[in-house]
Chains A and B, each alone.
Chain A
Amino acid sequence: MTAMQRRSPLGFRAAQHTADGSTSITEKQFEGKLILRGNPSAIGANVAGVMATPMPAKVHETATGPRGTTQWLSPDEWLILTAPGGETDLSRDLTAALTGKHHQIANVTDYYTTIALSGAHARDMLMKIATVDFDPLTFKSGMGVTTNLGRANPWLRATASDSFDIIIRISMADYLWCLLAESGHEWGLAGLTPKGAGVTLHLPHFETGTPAAPAIDPTPTPDL
């Protein structure tokens, strides 16, 4: 019997560095992620008690404490990030603290992954693919935002003046990874092609009129 192995969505991608070594993209594997929903005036004090930080009350606000980081997503929705493996305990503690209060806690740890973008060119790389302003005077350390990077729709947060954690759905993770690599290409990041790019699903019977099962290439994907 083989041991169960957990595989992260970007586990097949090696961390990338700019030519000057200043800036990198890496995957933060298995970071614990919860989505909390509820009326902030009803649940705020209880959540603050567990997280030991005030509840972020409006756009761009985040709060980091011993149990993790809470990020404002909408007037009744928060993202809670915690250390890998910590999501089960934190979810249990929040559920206990919110007993009898109308709320929802969803463990979305494995539905998203975290890309850490860090270094002197991090803001330049974001500015090339975003519509929100990533000027350091506007988007300061500790601020969070939900926006579009290219066609991806991540949550991101400035963890330091030149460091960002980008939380992205696993289905868009490789697209965003390759987009960031492309954005940093002028500083020496390698050009990458998203897995599956250029592969079109062929339905032969639409083309020939003869029903046939779509051909599936049995060769394993080499980079997995």
Chain B
Amino acid sequence: MLLITCPHCGTRDQSEFTYGGEAHISRPANSETMTDAQWAEFVFMRNNPKGVWAERWMHASGCRKWFNAVRDTSTDRFLAVYKIGEPRPNVTAAGLATPSGEPVIGSGNDAAKVMR
């Protein structure tokens, strides 16, 4: 079961939260002069990294506040949570031992075991 820490309420079950996509994308101020391509870039295009990225969550069944989180997409580990308006904390993931990035335990990846 995945637990998420709300910066206001503390650690709660994932079922209390809703997801809000990539964080720190601000709405362009000059939308009336933007081309369709530029608008589409803002509306649709997102990073999709394997590893550390910042995303938005909302504690829907609790305080109903949006907040930001830094998560490692390859392990689903939350590295930091912070309130809206606060800067993104400078956190890095613990290095992944396997060549393709999956967790060591349970991966069945013999190469990883050799590297460790």
Contacts and interface: CB of A to CB of B under 8 A. Distances in A.
Nearest to B10: A59
A71 B41 CA distance: 43
A131 interface: yes
Interface residues of A, number: 13
Interface of B: 8-10, 12-13, 15-16, 61-65
Nearest to A76: B65
B16 A59 contact: no
Contacts of B12: 131-132, 147
Interface of A: 58-59, 73-75, 77, 131-132, 145-148, 153
Contacts of A147: 12, 16, 61-62
B15 A131 contact: yes
A131 B16 contact: yes
Given A59-B8, A147-B12, A74 B65 contact: yes
Contacts of B9: 59, 146
B85 to A, nearest CB: 12
A163 B71 CA distance: 38
A145 B64 CA distance: 12
Nearest to B62: A146
A148 B16 contact: yes
Contacts of B61: 146-148, 153
Contacts of A145: 62
Nearest to A154: B61
13 contacts: A58-B8, A59-B10, A59-B63, A73-B63, A74-B64, A74-B65, A75-B8, A75-B65, A77-B63, A131-B13, A131-B15, A132-B12, A147-B61
A132 B3 CA distance: 11
A148 B12 CA distance: 11
Contacts of B15: 131, 148
